[in-house]
Amino acid sequence: MKAVCWMGKEKMQVHDVPDPKILNPRDAIVRITSTCICGSDLHLYDGFIPTMEQGDILGHEFMGDVVEIGPGVNKEKLKIGDRVVVPFTIACGNCQPCKEQLWSCCDNSNPNAWIAEKMMGYSPSGLFGYTHMLGGYSGGQAQYARVPYADVGPIKIPEGIPDEKVVFLSDIFPTGYMGAENCNIRPGDTVAVWGCGPVAQFAIRSCFMLGAGRVIAIDRVRERLELAQAAGAETLNFDQVDILDALHEMTGNRGPDACMDVVGMEASGHGALYAYDRAKQVARIQTDRPIVLRQAIMACKKGGTISIPGVYGGFVDKIPLGAYMNKAITMKTGQTHMMRYMGPLLERVQRGEIDPSFVISHKLPLDKAPEGYRIFRDKQDRCIKIVLKPWEQPLAA
C-alpha cells in the first residue's frame, strides 16, 4: 500500500510499504477513504518533537471501512464492513483513566510508556503516527491502517453522510470543542482565542455553542481571520496591533474571561523575546516556543481560565508564573478525550447544527502529501485544511 513516511525533518515521502496486519487480538484493519494533515503534524514535519524514527508513517485523522478484525474485538461494537471514524488517541477502555473518561490518558496503550515517563512522570495514551514516545504506532496517511483496541475508539458513521462532514471527528472538531469546554464558559463570557487554524475554527464555533457572548480571534493570516469573522468572532492581527493593548481596550481593562492557546509550541511573534525563543529552540535548549502562553497568562482576567488545546512537547521557560498565581488563574489542558465527544458531536453534525467541511481548502491525492505539508506549513495558496484521498490517482499535470 501507499503511505506517507517521515524520513527526516521537512522530508516527507510517499512509499510503497507492506499492508498492515492484525498483531493483537483486539486490532482491526481499516481501509482508509479520507485522511488529513493536522497542524500538529507540522511540529513533526519541522522536527521539533523528539523520538521520531526515519520511516514512520504519519497521520492521525482518518476514516474508512473496517476490512478485518481480530478475534478479541467485541463483535457487538464493531464488525467487518462498518464505516468508521478513528480517533487519534488510542485507549484500552479498561484501565482507571479510561473508566474515568480520561481517554487520552489511557494507561495501557503506549508500548513505549517508559520513554514518556522519563519526560512526563507518567505516560499518556498512545497516538497514531505521533512519535515513539507516544507509542510509535504507524499512522493513517496511508491506504490502510491497523487500529488497536478497535472496539473502543472507532465510531460508526451511518451511510449518507459524506466523509468531508465527519472526518474531522477524528481530531480537530472534538479538540476544538474540548478546548472551548475547558474555558469554563458562562453565558455572555468573552473568550480570546490565539490562532485561527483548523482546530481554532472549531474552537471558536464551539465557544458560541457553549454560550460565549464574544470571541476575539488572533492570527495574522488573512483568510483564517476571515473564516473566524464568518463565525461571528472579532479579530485581531498580531502583525498590526499589540495584542495585550488591544485586549485591554476591547474588554475595558478587565481582560477576557477565558483565553485559549490553540497554537502551541511553534508560536510566532515579534520582538526580542520571539528571537530569543526561536534561537533557543533551534539550539535545542528549549523544545517549545511559549509566546502565546505567556501572552494568554498576561491577558487573562483575574480569576479567569486558560485552556490549552495547542500541542506542547517538552520544556519552556520565562513563563510568568507570578501573574498566573497572583491573578488566581485556572489552567486546563490535555490531549482530547476523544470518545467523550465523538458521539455528541456526530449528532450535532447529523442535526445540521454545523457542517465541519467549511475548513477544507484543499483535497489532494495521497501522492501529493509532501507538497501538501509544504503549502500547509508555509500557509501558501490560502491553505487552511488539507484532506488526502488515498485511493485517488494524481492527475497528470
Which residues contact another protein by CB under 8 A?
1, 3, 5-8, 13, 15, 17-26, 51, 53-57, 70-72, 92-96, 99, 107-115, 122, 126, 132, 135-138, 146, 148-149
- Least CB distance to another protein at residue 188 (A): 40
Among 153, 194, 182, CA closest to 293: 194
CA angle, corner 212, sides to 211 and 213, nearest 5? 115
Nearer to another protein, 124 or 309 (CB): 124
- Least CB distance to another protein at residue 182 (A): 24
- Least CB distance to another protein at residue 138 (A): 5
- Least CB distance to another protein at residue 54 (A): 3
On whether the CB atoms of residues 293 and 316 are closer than 8 A, the answer is: yes
- Least CB distance to another protein at residue 391 (A): 17
- Least CB distance to another protein at residue 147 (A): 12
- Least CB distance to another protein at residue 11 (A): 11
Longest dimension (CA), the chain: 61
- Cα radius of gyration (the chain): 20
The number of beta carbons lying within 10 Å of the beta carbon of residue 169 is 24
Ramachandran area for residue 81 (φ above 0: left; ψ -120 to 50: alpha; else beta): left
Dig out the grid coordinates for 209 from the structure.
Answer: 455553542
Nearer to another protein, 18 or 252 (CB): 18
Nearer to another protein, 135 or 269 (CB): 135
Tallying the residues shown for the chain, one arrives at: 397
Nearer to another protein, 53 or 353 (CB): 53
Nearer to another protein, 99 or 351 (CB): 99
**Which 8-state DSSP code applies to residue 19?**
P
Spatial distance between the Cα atoms of 315 and 318, rounded to a whole number of angstroms: 11
Nearer to another protein, 3 or 316 (CB): 3
Only one residue has cell 498566573, namely: 324
Only one residue has cell 458521539, namely: 343
Nearer to another protein, 46 or 234 (CB): 46
Only one residue has cell 500538529, namely: 40
Among 55, 63, 62, 59, CA closest to 42: 59
Nearer to another protein, 94 or 380 (CB): 94
Q: 3-state DSSP call for residue 156?
A: strand
Query: Cβ neighbours of residue 113 under 8 Å, at least 6 residues apart?
Result: 123
**Which 8-state DSSP code applies to residue 278?**
H
Spatial distance between the Cα atoms of 307 and 79, rounded to a whole number of angstroms: 37
- Least CB distance to another protein at residue 72 (A): 5
- Least CB distance to another protein at residue 6 (A): 8
Nearer to another protein, 19 or 164 (CB): 19
Helix 338-350, helix 172-181: angle, nearest 10: 110
CA angle, corner 281, sides to 279 and 284, nearest 5? 110
Nearer to another protein, 12 or 243 (CB): 12
- Least CB distance to another protein at residue 363 (A): 24
Q: 3-state DSSP call for residue 297?
A: helix
